[in-house]
Structure 1
Amino acid sequence: MRHPSLTLLAASLLLASGVACAADTTIPSAAVKTAEQLRDKAMHDDTGYRIVTSLTEIGPRLAGSPADQRGVDWAVAEFKALGFDKVYTEPVTYPKWVRRSEHGAIVSPFPQRLVLTALGYSPGTPKGGLTAQIVRFEGLDALKAANPAAIKGKIVFVDYRMHRYKDGHDYGVGSPIRVEGPVIAQAKGAAGYLLRTVGTDPHSRTPNTGVTGFRDQTKTIPAAAVSNPDADQLERALATGKPVTVRLDLDCGIEGQYTGANVIGEITGAKHPDQVVAIGGHLDSWDPGTGAIDDGAGVAIAMAAGKLIHDLPQRPDRTIRVIAFANEEMGLWGGRAYAEKHAGDVRKFQLGTESDFGAGQVWRMSASVKPEARGAIEQIAKVLSPIGVAYDAKRPGGGGSDLSQMHGKGMAALSLTQDGTNYFDWHHTAADTLDKIDPKDMAQNVAVYAAFSYMAAQADGDFGSAPGAFANDGAGD
């Protein structure tokens, strides 16, 4: 048995030396009970589905397009209609990229139309198009290792085929091919860039668009993605052993700067209004579809979760802040602007995460929090377990796409992984439409976000947010 007087003496010495014993963060039993009620109510509530239905009626919301402002106006009005206590915007400025038309074809050895889509920040082709021989690479490493002499003046074609996985991890291979590949090809003297679509539908001729890594507009080349069937056709043409010539005709490019906005709604905390639980999604979308799964769903999930907490008899202890981010698709512009503006207040961020992986059911939770808050995370996990969410204590939490930027500043964060088995069939394509969302799955997402947000808001103690707090945890989404 430890001697009481020695224990008190040790504690006194620690306090005298300026070292305090960190108290564990816990969630009161009353808050757990309320969170369970929120969860159960949300599972039978259609608020989230009704919100995303309304948002998709605006149509595609390409950043900087006329629909971008309509989306901002919609979000302000929707937050107010849902009863949020405070609704405001914060400006976000970025390059305005426009898409007007896009065409492609195999010229030889046998003429064939190619179904393709221009990639973000791609310049247009010269008048009359760009016609050149293609040179094929199996992946990014092969392109990096290639002799520039084999590339100069040609159209690089990177032919990596993505596969379906529940957690969508093959995007970690496909996305760099789309983002980094054009930059590498340009530096090696290529005239243009094609890639097999960063998507998993093997049959549909709906190529997945997306952003490139072009930032210096003096160093760009026309870049596009071809659908899987069209990439197969290119493979067959190359298999003949004859030179394959392709024509690209892209009318697109940057037209100056545009100032959009992050739109923010708050449910004000009753005890600690300056401390926030941050959730959200991004308001913009690519232009072929209507942005239902990417990311109308995320905006709707967060708004609906906030609405359910708003409707409780008493306000939460801390503020629930829902953020509809601007221009995530072209490079996390809204998330980066938000993090730069609010980095000095990172300690006031209790916990945060963003929904940006469709509307499939959440099946896994992970967290980046201080050790003393792991017990509170386990309490959250216990509430979410009955609706199919497993807690992986070994994985870090990244905070989602835009809120990853606040996590990088030191915000404690969750990752709430949705079932993305079919997500990349539709991601960034004309097939990103409302019919891809199951209302029951949407309700489960809202239940997860409402329950965790409320529990975090009611916690006794914090989750460890502080400048640079999670710099070495390797978090990612």
Structure 2
Amino acid sequence: MRGFVAGALGLALLGGCVSGDGGSGFGDRASALPPSLAYRLTQSLTTEVGPRLAGTPREAAARDWAVRTLKDLKFGRVAVEPFTIKGWAREREEAFIVSHGDQALAVTALGGSISTPKAGITAPIAFVASYDDLLLAPPDAYAGKIVFINDRMKAARDGSGYGVAVRKRSRGAIEAAKRGALAVAIRSVGTDNTRFPHTGNMNYDAAVKRIPAAAVSNADADQLERLHAMGVPMRLKLVLKTRAIADAPSGNVVADIVGVEKPDEIVLLAAHLDSWDLGTGAVDDATGVAIVVAAALKAAGPEMKPKRTIRVVLYGAEEVGVHGGDAYAKAHAGEIANHVLATEADFGTGRVWRFASKALEADLPFFDSVAAGLRDLGVERGDNKSGGGADIAALAKKGVPIVGLSQDGTTYFDYHHTANDTLDKVDAAALEQNVEVYARVARAFANR
């Protein structure tokens, strides 16, 4: 690991990949180019640590990796800020259409789901076309049944299809239980047509009976849809075994390149260190980790002497409730007013195409000038209504200025929260464009 970092650092300070003809390397996929620091970091985290489920020893291994890496990259202050969460882990997940030859479905438990009984739950399927249709159903409409919610997610550059589609994952178990369901299964919240089911966090309501919750791959959801269209009754067997982990350890890794003129003023670059456990968390969010680390170094320059402190925060336990974001805001409440900017990378490696902000009217001319400096990279100016990312939302609510850098999410949800989220999905050239954009933004605010 230390040998990897030493070689990578030089590439970071040279500004990333450079093609053989002297080009920037920001064109098509750069598989023939030497690996940049950002790509090497992504490869290292996904290979040496792998899946990083919050509250588990693998997330702890990721924190150790981050501390070691950031120290080797000469960040001035590196620390772990621990907190605890209610952890969760999956152990067994199976589903079969028992009414039609025991056809096996590719299925995964949703994060936080309770277990089924040991023998599973076998019951008729109540096929519900959408989450909105579920809400229209009267009490006890699905008594004794397994509800299947069939919303399809639509791909979009800005990821806007996610908000509508994720409702069934977040609240499907609550609303199905209110209507008497024994369990809930959903069409995966994703835009692929593979047999990789998408996991993700779900919620319970203390006032409503808890029922098991699972996601079916989109290809298998199509199979259920075809059977439903035939008008034939379906019965499903669902077996889930999960376990809760009380007081599971997590934590944020905070690293500073200390400013030489205004060290108490902070430009914060954020990503989350944890991932779901099915894949290796490459696009969600090892690439984000790599982007902000490499961008911070590039923004600081070879002398590592920015005017203001550039802080990288690698948040823990984002996937299971954004606990790291809340913990950081609480731990740093006394210096929140010193944060001159926060921005986050958590949307894969699609090229950055839009610069949005949340700033005071008096500061907008400066924000506009920073955005103008990104036009050559294909970045357009967005509005002044950015909420930032999930982990910096708590800072945004407290008035910290925000830059939201929109990455192209057209294919992001093909892999999001699946076993297919692996290193081969990373576009090396687009990764470098991200680093350059984040570095220019960080440099502008750090040296303003």
Q: TM-score normalised to the size of structure 2?
A: 0.90
1:123 to 91, 107, 114: 114
Conservation of the 8 A alpha-carbon contact between 2:141 and 2:179: no
Give 2:160's aligned amino acid: H
Worse-superposed segment, 253-262 or 95-104 = 253-262
Conservation of the 8 A alpha-carbon contact between 1:196 and 1:231: yes
1:319 to 309, 324, 344: 309
TM-fit CA distance, 1:39 = 11
Q: Does 1:288 align with 2:262?
A: no
2:446 to 457, 474, 477: 457
Q: Which residue of 1 aligns with 2:188?
A: 197
Conservation of the 8 A alpha-carbon contact between 2:325 and 2:394: yes
Q: Which residue of 1 aligns with 2:413?
A: 424
SS class of match (2:233): coil
Q: Which residue of 2 aligns with 1:49?
A: 39
TM-fit CA distance, 1:270 = 0.9
Q: Does 1:158 align with 2:149?
A: yes
Give 1:330's aligned amino acid: V
Q: Which residue of 2 aligns with 1:257?
A: 247
SS class of match (1:108): helix
Give 1:97's aligned amino acid: W
Distance 1:92 1:217, change over 3 A: farther
TM-fit CA distance, 1:314 = 5.7
TM-fit CA distance, 1:183 = 1.6
Q: Which residue of 2 aligns with 1:300?
A: 290
Structure index of larger Rg: 1
Give 2:357's aligned amino acid: A
Conservation of the 8 A alpha-carbon contact between 1:39 and 1:450: no
Worse-superposed segment, 150-159 or 208-217 = 208-217
2:84 to 93, 100, 109: 93
CA distance in 2, matches of 1:388, 1:314: 28
Give 2:412's aligned amino acid: Y
Conservation of the 8 A alpha-carbon contact between 1:359 and 1:442: yes
Distance 1:223 1:41, change over 3 A: same
Conservation of the 8 A alpha-carbon contact between 1:109 and 1:237: no
Conservation of the 8 A alpha-carbon contact between 2:357 and 2:403: yes
Q: Which residue of 2 aligns with 1:405?
A: 394
CA distance in 1, matches of 2:276, 2:400: 28
CA distance in 2, matches of 1:335, 1:215: 23
1:207 to 197, 219, 223: 197
CA distance in 1, matches of 2:171, 2:138: 17
5 Å matches for 1:163-202?
163-202=154-193
Q: Which residue of 2 aligns with 1:137?
A: 128
1:75 to 63, 66, 69: 66
5 Å matches for 1:286-365?
286-313=276-303, 315-365=305-355
Distance 1:215 1:456, change over 3 A: farther
Conservation of the 8 A alpha-carbon contact between 1:99 and 1:251: yes
1:382 to 350, 364, 372: 372
CA distance in 2, matches of 1:323, 1:402: 10
Give 2:258's aligned amino acid: T
SS class of match (2:429): helix
Give me the CA root mean square deviation. Answer: 1.8
Q: Which residue of 2 aligns with 1:106?
A: 97
Give 1:83's aligned amino acid: K
CA distance in 1, matches of 2:230, 2:152: 21
- How many positions carry a matched residue from both structures? 420
Distance 1:153 1:39, change over 3 A: farther
CA distance in 1, matches of 2:355, 2:299: 21
Q: Which string of whole-angstrom CA distances, capped at 9 and with x for unpartnered residues, describes residues 250-306 of structure 1?
A: 111312221211001100011111110111210000111100000001111011111
Give 2:358's aligned amino acid: S
Q: Which residue of 2 aligns with 1:225?
A: 215
Distance 1:314 1:200, change over 3 A: closer
CA distance in 2, matches of 1:409, 1:142: 37
Conservation of the 8 A alpha-carbon contact between 2:13 and 2:297: no
Give 2:322's aligned amino acid: L
CA distance in 1, matches of 2:204, 2:243: 11
Structure 1, gaps ≥5 residues long: 1-37, 460-477
TM-fit CA distance, 1:346 = 2.1
Q: Which residue of 2 aligns with 1:464?
A: none
Give 1:258's aligned amino acid: A
